[in-house]
Structure 1
């Protein structure tokens, strides 16, 4: 459960790139906006896609985002590709918090499990099982 109350702002923002069926819904948590980014298919394939999400959310004055595992390329979860490190380093560098919602057990990787564990300790990068967990992580600050 969340420690604070939150409201869904009934505004949906669509990506300018129509090939990416993505929508951003703003959740208001106290005086902060959280962007919930979801859509159909994979729309984060590379660093530029990850950065564009940050830009699109920031344009709505949301500096925290909930993103779903199914919208991120599997390469992100293969740490040897370094894609997760590149994207998440930029998010951290720009003070942008993220929660990735999904079931990460399918990857069966000790290094990924360790990465998730260490990331979750930072509270800036969160890997969680549900949308509600993501909102709760953001409300604990």
Structure 2
């Protein structure tokens, strides 16, 4: 499978292939953002696509990637289990909590949870 745009809960989402290249830099984020110009509003990235350094905030990878998505106003959904990373880092727990609260990055356990959040977001829009 390649990265494909799917309509999920009425929203066009670029669903990234789990076997695709690792996302490890701002440039990688920009490539995904560029792919949204084909019509996606959201980018759904499986956790396996993220470089391990993403989950270690001291590396700056998460900050670089998230900043690009925020700057270009593209919602980033990270799909998969991050519980082991959260258990190991209070800073990452705070980052995930703040990101979810601010609404520019969502951490969801699976695509069903993503669909539910997309549906709720659509329902709350005028």
Superposed pair shares fold, TM > 0.5: yes
Distance in structure 1 (CA, Å) of the matches to 2:24 and 2:8? 29
Which structure shows the higher helix fraction? 2
Written as runs of structure 1 = structure 2, the 5 A alignment for 1:49-68 is: 49-56=28-35, 58-68=36-46
5+ residue gaps, structure 1: 1-21
Q: How far off is 1:37 after superposition?
A: 0.7
Superposition RMSD in Å = 1.8
Q: Which runs of 4+ in 1 moved over 2 A?
A: 29-32
Distance in structure 1 (CA, Å) of the matches to 2:72 and 2:100? 18
Distance in structure 2 (CA, Å) of the matches to 1:95 and 1:37? 18
- Aligned residue among 27, 30, 33 for 2:6: 27
Q: How far off is 1:50 after superposition?
A: 1.4
5+ residue gaps, structure 2: 122-126
Which residue of structure 2 aligns with residue 103 of structure 1?
A: 81
Aligned length: 119
Distance in structure 2 (CA, Å) of the matches to 1:137 and 1:78? 26
